[in-house]
Structure 1
Amino acid sequence: MLEITALSIQLGEFSFSDLNLDVKEGEYCIILGPTGAGKTILLETIAGIHYPKSGRICLNGKDITNTPPESRGIGMVYQDYMLFPHMTVGENIDFGLKEQGVAKPEREAAVKKIAATFGISHLLDRHPQTLSGGEQQRTAIARSLLLRPSVLLLDEPLSALDTITRERLRNELKAIHTETGMTILHITHHFEDIYALADRVIVMREGKIIQEGTPDTILRHPISHFIANFTGMDNIFTGYAEMTSSGVAEIRIGTTIIRAVTELTGQVHAGIRPEDMIISSEPFTSSAQNSFSGVVTQIIDVGAYSKIIVDTGLLLTAILTHQSIQRLGITVGTSIWVTFKATSVHVFRE
């Protein structure tokens, strides 16, 4: 549906060149990357805010590379809402339809319907500066969706919101996507968005797309140390892998041996996601081929759960709910066991 071919752009000191991306109709794509990767510039170029030096942007088979923004059929929502402060919520939502010359009765009916969808019907006569962040973001998304864009571009729309509001809006985005089948490109730094929303994840760095795939592919099978670290793999080690007669590789990391299912040998990186670690107070009986005793050196509260740092000879990071920590009686200095499967170890070279 959206096809970007050999796109190049220069904006001050930032540039990207020969960027290629295809987005299928109805796909929800999450875009990840560090600050300065070019994520927002990519969306703004798709929207027509910037014009590329070379390359093509095609939407539904039509070249829109040089088409004015208002004629592209693309909606964009920013983190900071960008509502008109002198207009009411209703007028903000209505703005695009009014500019298109849609009759007032039809506009009013459409505004009421979408306001009800987002739970902001009672706010239609208020001004943006009197609203909470979540209410402003609902208004911004409603305004964009009312124009029925072919593609909706979301630039960190949930980042400035509190946890409860972010979860509520995330659920609303999911429901809207399911109901409308709209094509969405969404920049985020929240990994909960990936699990809850994404059909496909695109990772950018320094103006390049360095990996793309399903959420599981990106989070569990990163192709490089950078992506593994950026996506929160936490446990990343460098060691030497040798194949055993059983077909499972043994990776020597200092004095520790980790077993992994891989065909790579020699110098490698091994990564294990913290959620794949099983924590127990006694040796854990299972088919998992990696089990180590250690001492808890640190407990880091990260909201709904905590990160547990365990010194087993390697410093391993696991995550547990607060209830699990209490149930196991874990404190700094507690001796525990850490267990994980050989299939949970992702092995890569870059």
Structure 2
Amino acid sequence: MLRIESLTTSLGDFSVRDISLEVRDNEYFVILGPTGAGKSVLIETIAGIHFPSSGRIVLDGRDVTRTAPWSRPVGMVYQDYMLFPHLDVGENIAFGLRQRRVPAARRREQVIEICGLLEIDHLLGRSPGSLSGGEQQRVALARALVLEPKVLLLDEPLSALDGPTRERMRAELSRVRRLTGTAVLHITHHFEDVFALADRIAIMRDGRIVQVGETGDVFLHPADRFVAEFLGIGNIIRGRSERFGSVVRITTTSGVTFSAASGTLGEVVATFHAEDVILSGAPFASSARNCLEGEVLGVVPCGSTIQVRLDVGFPLTALLTRESCHDLALSPGVRIFATFKASAVHLIPVGS
């Protein structure tokens, strides 16, 4: 297990501050955050490239805070692969083993073994410059995994790949984690990586961790408005909540009310996903407490789905299939009813 305790690292005017988190054995842990949040500084500190000004890094019960990078049981893969152009694939993969003075015969065995696992045996004699992006990424992954690290550190490893290659590499990372049992700490800004790979996630902002949790829980229950906006939650509404029977009633600044299954009272920000909104030409019987009439402001194609923007007394967004949008004949100016459950609404106290 990797444990980070109150870690602070300063580089010039920027710092990652008071970071505490754990990556469990065999866990796939993803750190998300906007550009400049400090994700790379954090992962490079764990790797030993930077030394922290305070705090500890503990790996399998061993304090490695001041341990040299090559003596830490971690492997690292960068976005740009960082393969040595003057070495062939086999020599690149064996580089760390040579640094550790592993005997030549054993080096060859380990290189062949990891190349078999990643299905890149046929690349062994090639030069890095002759490889595709996906092949270079597999070689960089092999170079990290051949050292049998306790934790694999991945710094935006899929960002330079095209869509289809990135999808294949996600499947490869999942397979490798399953076969090797290696814990993975992966930093990214692609939500697709999170949904495909992560057991738990952390959100970073301005050098701090602002939320940690299981993937589904963080997306459904953002800790604050920044997290909700960063995760792209479709509906974020300011209002005031008060007790109303078994639920709370939120009154928006425009005076429109809706319900939430929450105990949070006072000034709040209500969030719910566009996918949780059902549109219909007339109210219909359901268990959902919220049904608001409004006007379509815009219809925006988003791949296989359609984003519908409404005015229900406050801006509201729904996400529909193309078929549903066609059946409802939605276009700007059409009157429509928006229905959503009180349980779909998450409330964040203002000031959180």
Normalised to the residue count of structure 1, the TM-score between the two structures is: 0.91
Residue 310 (structure 1) aligns with: 310
Residue 195 (structure 1) aligns with: 195
- Of residues 69-78 and 205-214 in structure 1, the stretch that sits farther from structure 2 once superposed is 205-214
**In the alignment, is the contact (CA less than 8 A) between 2:241 and 2:266 conserved in 1?**
yes
Rounded Cα–Cα distance in structure 1 between residues aligned with 2:159 and 2:45? 22
**In the alignment, is the contact (CA less than 8 A) between 1:234 and 1:274 conserved in 2?**
yes
**Structure 2: unaligned runs, 5 residues or longer:** none
Residue 3 (structure 2) aligns with: 3
Rounded Cα–Cα distance in structure 2 between residues aligned with 1:232 and 1:44? 28
| 1:114-153 Cα deviation digits (max 9, x unpaired) | 3343343333333222322222212211211111111111
Rounded Cα–Cα distance in structure 1 between residues aligned with 2:329 and 2:166? 32
| 1:206-260 Cα deviation digits (max 9, x unpaired) | 2211111111221111121111111111210001112112x11111111321210
AA partner of residue 320 (structure 1): L
| 1:146-186 Cα deviation digits (max 9, x unpaired) | 11111111111112222221121111111222222211111
Rounded Cα–Cα distance in structure 2 between residues aligned with 1:265 and 1:194? 32
3-state secondary structure, aligned to 2:159: coil
1:133 aligned onto 2:136: no
Residue 77 (structure 1) aligns with: 77
Count how many residue pairs are aligned between Structure 1 and Structure 2: 349
AA partner of residue 140 (structure 1): A
**In the alignment, is the contact (CA less than 8 A) between 1:284 and 1:337 conserved in 2?**
no
Rounded Cα–Cα distance in structure 2 between residues aligned with 1:92 and 1:334? 62
Change (3 A) 1:53 1:256: same
| 1:268-326 Cα deviation digits (max 9, x unpaired) | 11000122223445545421112234444334444454433233332222333445545
3-state secondary structure, aligned to 1:85: coil
Residue 248 (structure 2) aligns with: 249
Change (3 A) 1:66 1:345: same
Residue 99 (structure 1) aligns with: 99
AA partner of residue 250 (structure 1): R
Rounded Cα–Cα distance in structure 1 between residues aligned with 2:87 and 2:279? 55
**In the alignment, is the contact (CA less than 8 A) between 1:281 and 1:335 conserved in 2?**
yes
Rounded Cα–Cα distance in structure 2 between residues aligned with 1:163 and 1:295? 36
Residue 120 (structure 1) aligns with: 120
1:339 aligned onto 2:339: yes
Residue 236 (structure 2) aligns with: 236
3-state secondary structure, aligned to 1:157: coil
3-state secondary structure, aligned to 1:35: coil
- 1:202-241 matches, within 5 Å, as 202-241=202-241
Rounded Cα–Cα distance in structure 2 between residues aligned with 1:102 and 1:198? 33
- Of residues 249-258 and 95-104 in structure 1, the stretch that sits farther from structure 2 once superposed is 95-104
Change (3 A) 1:285 1:140: farther
- Of residues 166-175 and 131-140 in structure 1, the stretch that sits farther from structure 2 once superposed is 131-140
3-state secondary structure, aligned to 2:26: coil
| 1:49-77 Cα deviation digits (max 9, x unpaired) | 00111222111111111111000011111
Residue 56 (structure 2) aligns with: 56
1:14 aligned onto 2:19: no
Rounded Cα–Cα distance in structure 2 between residues aligned with 1:82 and 1:315? 46
**In the alignment, is the contact (CA less than 8 A) between 2:118 and 2:142 conserved in 1?**
yes
**In the alignment, is the contact (CA less than 8 A) between 1:29 and 1:198 conserved in 2?**
yes
**In the alignment, is the contact (CA less than 8 A) between 2:9 and 2:17 conserved in 1?**
yes
Tell me the CA shift for residue 87 of structure 1. Answer: 2.1
Rounded Cα–Cα distance in structure 2 between residues aligned with 1:348 and 1:18? 24
Rounded Cα–Cα distance in structure 2 between residues aligned with 1:282 and 1:240? 28
- 1:32-47 matches, within 5 Å, as 32-47=32-47
Identical columns (%): 50
**Structure 1: unaligned runs, 5 residues or longer:** none
**In the alignment, is the contact (CA less than 8 A) between 2:16 and 2:41 conserved in 1?**
no
Tell me the CA shift for residue 80 of structure 1. Answer: 1.3
Rounded Cα–Cα distance in structure 2 between residues aligned with 1:295 and 1:194? 34
Rounded Cα–Cα distance in structure 2 between residues aligned with 1:137 and 1:324? 41
Residue 298 (structure 2) aligns with: 298
**In the alignment, is the contact (CA less than 8 A) between 2:31 and 2:204 conserved in 1?**
yes
- 1:101-180 matches, within 5 Å, as 101-180=101-180
- Of residues 327-336 and 272-281 in structure 1, the stretch that sits farther from structure 2 once superposed is 327-336
AA partner of residue 197 (structure 2): L
- Of residues 5-14 and 322-331 in structure 1, the stretch that sits farther from structure 2 once superposed is 322-331
AA partner of residue 249 (structure 2): E
